[in-house]
Amino acid sequence: MSMSRKTVLITGATAGLGRCLAEQLADRGARLMLHGRDEKVLAAQCRDFRAKGVEAHPLVADFSALSEVHDLAGRLEAQRPTVDVLINNAGVGPGTEGAGREISKDGHELRFAVGYLAPYLLTRLLLPALRRSPSARVVNVGSAAQAEIDLADLEMATSYQGWIAYGRAKLALASFTVDLAEEVGAEGIAVSCVHPADLMPTALVRETGLEPASTIEQGAEAVLRLACSPVGETAGGQYFHGLTPAAPHDDVMDPDKRRRLREATERLLAD
């Protein structure tokens, strides 16, 4: 899949894996739509790309507010009615050891809101733009740290631990991958989920105090393989650990559990 003049949206694009993906996609000739929270950092990033002859557009939004997700989708479609690749990379890590529960601007558990509700909503809002592409891809940046979700305490109001909250968001994102692939695969939209690499040296990992075990470039290779190569075209609904197809958490492959999660998600978004 040639990336020349392809429109690619990367969420969480100003640092770490997202920034590396932007740089490598720029080298491949992609038209970059870059999301971030910090307007100044994002503007500077886009200026640097433009100085190199790369078309890059900033899309500022705080994914802890779902109204800003709606606004971003509207602004993007006004600028570029066709999206060829959506990389849902933005998220919130498990945090420091012993840190307490945080809530989003909408009152949702923060990791679930940013790591799952926001990409779920954004992807659904952008389906018309993705359908206009002859070979669209959605790549969800997941994690092997998937954790079972208690639907009776979806927002972890009674029991909270950072790694579990992070893992629940990643399990939900992997479940959404399977559901969406079944829904839109016949329309030519390839949807996949990938654990890019183990413990990359990102802010998310540094915050946990764990030592890095791989490079950001290794993670970028795994994501770009699904976003740009023929592998991604036939990877509908699949989960990958790095470059290798892998089995996600058992709950991801349980149709009834996915249905109940999907119904709970739609209720949250309707509130």
Could you report the per-residue pLDDT of 120-143, keeping only the tens digit for each?
999 999 999 999 999 999 999 999
Residues contacting residue 98 through CB under 8 Å, at least 6 positions apart: none
Residue 244: exposure state from Cβ atoms within 10 A (0-12, 13-18, ≥19): exposed
Return the pLDDT at 8.
98
Return the pLDDT at 216.
94
Q: Which of 25, 269, 56 is nearest to 139 (CA)?
A: 25
The CA-atom distances, in angstroms, between 68 and each of 48, 83, 172, 270 are 25, 19, 21, 15
Q: What value, to the nearest 5°, has the Cα angle with vertex 158 and ends 106 and 175?
A: 65
Asked whether residue 2 carries a pLDDT value surpassing 80, the answer given is: no
Asked whether residue 189 carries a pLDDT value surpassing 80, the answer given is: yes
Q: Which of 208, 221, 117 is nearest to 170 (CA)?
A: 117
Helices (H), the chain: 16-27, 39-51, 66-79, 110-112, 118-125, 127-131, 162-184, 203-208, 216-228, 230-233, 255-270
Question: Do 233 and 135 form a contact (C-beta atoms < 8 A)?
Answer: yes
Please tell me whether residue 67 adopts helix, strand or coil conformation: helix
Where do the structural domains in the chain lie, given as residue ranges? 7-270
Strand 244-245, strand 31-36: pairing: unpaired
Return the pLDDT at 227.
96
Mean pLDDT of the chain: 95
Q: For 243-270, what is the mean pLDDT?
A: 97
Asked whether residue 1 carries a pLDDT value surpassing 80, the answer given is: no
Binning the chain into helix, strand and coil, the percentages to the nearest 5 are 50, 15, 40
Q: What value, to the nearest 5°, has the Cα angle with vertex 242 and ends 182 and 98?
A: 95
How many whole angstroms from its chain centre is CA 94? 16
Residue range 7-270 in CATH 3.40.50.720: yes
Asked whether residue 218 carries a pLDDT value surpassing 90, the answer given is: yes
Residue 165 has φ and ψ, to the nearest 5°, of -60, -45
CA atoms within 13 A on the CB side of 145: 16
pTM value surpassing 0.85: yes
The CA-atom distances, in angstroms, between 157 and each of 73, 100, 107, 108, 180 are 30, 11, 11, 10, 28
Residues 57-106 pLDDT 10s: 999 999 999 999 999 999 999 999 999 999 999 999 988 888 889 999 99
Residue 105 has φ and ψ, to the nearest 5°, of -65, -25
pLDDT band at 212 (very low <50, low <70, confident <90, very high): confident
Residues contacting residue 183 through CB under 8 Å, at least 6 positions apart: none
pLDDT band at 203 (very low <50, low <70, confident <90, very high): confident
Asked whether residue 247 carries a pLDDT value surpassing 90, the answer given is: yes
